[in-house]
Structure 1
């Protein structure tokens, strides 16, 4: 409606000019009776002026309506895009997160959607209006003067062709610039999320240098993009201003031979300027369009990803509870990001229900991979993993992790909320009493109550306000809240000091009662009481048995224990020395 009104306004203005020009040319009438002449001019001007005023009011009203409406639509689209994109991302498998950095993913959720929303709103509003005005005004000026219109239209295809060729290269530049910007964001996000490690190694200058380098490269790319867009817009403006100059020159000639009235020339010129403004806006929109297309492409790249098969479908068993018999059958596995390098090869292991099995071995031999496969963070390449005779690939993965398995790792990550909510994260909808019961089982209730705010104590980002042992016990409570049949302990005490380890170990022993427990162990002193100890080397089991049996054999396990005891003696001597 705004565009249609902008098409008609030049013609109404031309009507007003024609009335003024008519009386300006009739000088004798105006001199004979000035008052009558003034009244006659006002009377003749009233109708076209009133029509023009109504159009101005209507234009203002519809401008408000479309801007307000489009703003609401744009925000709803951005909201839905963010929701759908986040859902698409979070339903991907772990291989997806291995391949993409967190900063890059966050950039697509924030910067790219913001760019897409801004471009969408601008291109829809100004683009639709400008195109309508161009089409309408071309029809209008054709009716006013076909000669002038024909000359002007002859020049347009050349500009469109040049613009299309330049646009292709600008789109490529924009994509590269946005990718580089995301890379710089990823560098900053990684440094800030690991600020304690940066501090520990006094690596601030190194991180500043790395970030500055990436930002400088992004700025250079953006400058090249700005140069191209500026060149395009400058050329377009030069062409459009040339059209105005040509219109005045040729229009004056047509007026001199009586083929145009002054009002028609003004109407033609105003309509031409409307076309000029519309084309200028389209050229300005070009940069926004390029950014929007690039940002939209990056958003929809992730948005169109199908959810990981392991995240959808699968069986949810409600009529029985798992006892916890686990069996690995001829399992072979390699990480998707490291193909052709098998971590486990024909791995076979039976874990009876209610027993504690510890997997030991030096780093890089596949211990944590066993835990990750049981938790179904990845699916096996060959073979199968069964719980009570059921292949875990037939189970819904969220049900498996949410109700059957409890996972506690070396460095538990807590959320920046209260202790109560961190424990409740283990089972959505749990009551406060259930949370407190889980904390007691994890030997955490006493230290929590010693805080001034008790269970409402804020733990800080990643739980930085709690000690290592306190964080670990909160994590144990979180895992126990869902009452899992199977507990997976992935080096759960290896990052703790001796006193904290002793307290947490007692909590783990209490939590293990009546459950099947898989322990991934670094400190061998913590697994001496395990029912079965498995020694893993290069993804293959080389020894299996109880602590006493394996020690008596004086094989790989014995050597691992001896090495650790020697290291502990050296550390003890260093501390006391």
Structure 2
């Protein structure tokens, strides 16, 4: 029972991804470049609402067009900086993902070649090949694009929340109070996604292993005219893999729906309270616009993290399977 509980706890966390850290730290230059690009992109994005606020409060009330022209020129410069930082982030993180996965494939294969013959008496060669191919692809996604998106949205979300507090503490209190209501269900749904993702990967590996074994013994298969029997078994295995994948996809879809609906509904509610403050004169229209943009940034970051969490859960399942070899 203790072993079952321990295995269940592993499936509920992202701890298997920790085994990737030694591979990542080998390439500090790529990591530092990615982090710098992420910070620049996030800081540039967070600076945009400040310009919008001043333009609303001062630009449109001025008779001179010079003020507005200067702000639009500044926005163009910020857009160029954001584009350059985003391009740098893409280059560094994708290169890092490819490099790390190449190292993992090399090490896993080298380890497999040192295992005793008794291991191969019970393990199916097709399943091992599946782990080298499919599971490492999942890991590449986590180390590359998924981790980058997660870190970017964490920085952007925290920065947006901080600027929201500076802009309007009252409205920020309403938003922060709603965060636990949103985040806690996301964590619970993420655990379910990870469990279903692991099941989908296992069933796909079983189907691949069965096909590999039968193709390897195709002469014997044809000698006993078992083509239809083997095809039927493989079709059943493929259908089982599809059903497991569909269950995982449905769980991730529901997670995305819940996150986006609750997050943006809370933004609408806060905007309603803010509009009342504008009518009462306690805040300016530009301040409300600035707060709204930061709210959208924070909501978008949380929504993206809900999707990223599901992808990281899949990668954690793949990393766990690789470590079992």
Which deviates more from structure 2 when the two are superposed, residues 112-121 or residues 223-232?
A: 223-232
Residue 86 (structure 1) shift:
0.3
What is the aligned partner in structure 1 of residue 237 from structure 2? Answer: 214
- Gap regions ≥5 residues in structure 2: 1-39
The residue aligned with 1:349 is: none
Aligned partners of 1:21 and 1:262 also within 8 Å? no
Runs of 4+ in structure 1 deviating by more than 4 angstroms, as ranges, are none
Which residue pairs with 2:175 in the alignment?
152
What residue is the counterpart of 1:172 in the other structure?
Answer: 195
What is the 5 A alignment of 1:294-313?
A: 294-302=317-325
Equivalent residue, structure 1, for 2:133: 110
Partner of 1:85: 108
Name the counterpart of 1:12.
Answer: 51
Matches within 5 A, 1:256-405: 256-302=279-325
**1:296-322 superposed Cα distances (whole Å, 9 cap, x missing partner):** 1111222xxxxxxxxxxxxxxxxxxxx
Structure whose alpha-carbon radius of gyration is higher: 1
TM-score, normalised via structure 2 length: 0.84
Map of 2:166 onto structure 1: 143
**1:98 shift after superposition:** 1.1
Higher share of residues assigned helix: 2
**How many residues of Structure 1 are paired with residues of Structure 2 in the alignment?**
286
Cα distance in 1, alignment partners of residues 323 and 58 from structure 2: 57
**Residue number among 50, 67, 74 corresponding to 2:90 in the alignment:** 67
Structure 1 residue matching 2:248: 3-state secondary structure: helix
Taking the aligned partners of 2:147 and 2:50, their CA distance within structure 1 comes to: 26
Q: Which residue of 2 aligns with 1:251?
A: 274
- Whole-Å separation in 2 of the counterparts to 1:209 and 1:283: 39
What's the CA shift for 1:219?
Answer: 1.3
Give the SS at the match of 2:61.
helix
- Partner in structure 1 of residue 227 of structure 2: 204
With normalisation by structure 1, the TM-score equals 0.48
Deviation at 1:172, TM superposition (A): 1.7
| CA distance, structure 2, for counterparts of residue 18 and residue 205 of structure 1 | 75
The Cα of 1:205 is off from its aligned counterpart by 1.4
Q: Helix, strand or coil: the match of 1:270?
A: helix
Q: Deviations over 1:5-49 (max 9, x none)?
A: 1111122222222234424xxxxxxxxxxxxx3xx1x21113322
Contact 1:122-1:285 at 8 Å conserved across structures: no
Shift of 1:88: 0.7
Name the CA distance, whole Å, in 2 between partners of 1:16 and 1:274.
Answer: 19
Higher RCO, Cα 8 Å, sep 6+: 2
Match of 1:500?
A: none
Matched, 1:226 2:249: yes
How far off is 1:250 after superposition?
1.1
Which structure has greater strand proportion?
1
Q: List per-residue Cα deviations over 1:218-273 (Å, max 9, x = no partner).
A: 11112222222212111111111212211321111111111221111111111111
Offset of residue 58 of structure 1: 0.2
SS in 2 for 1:92: coil
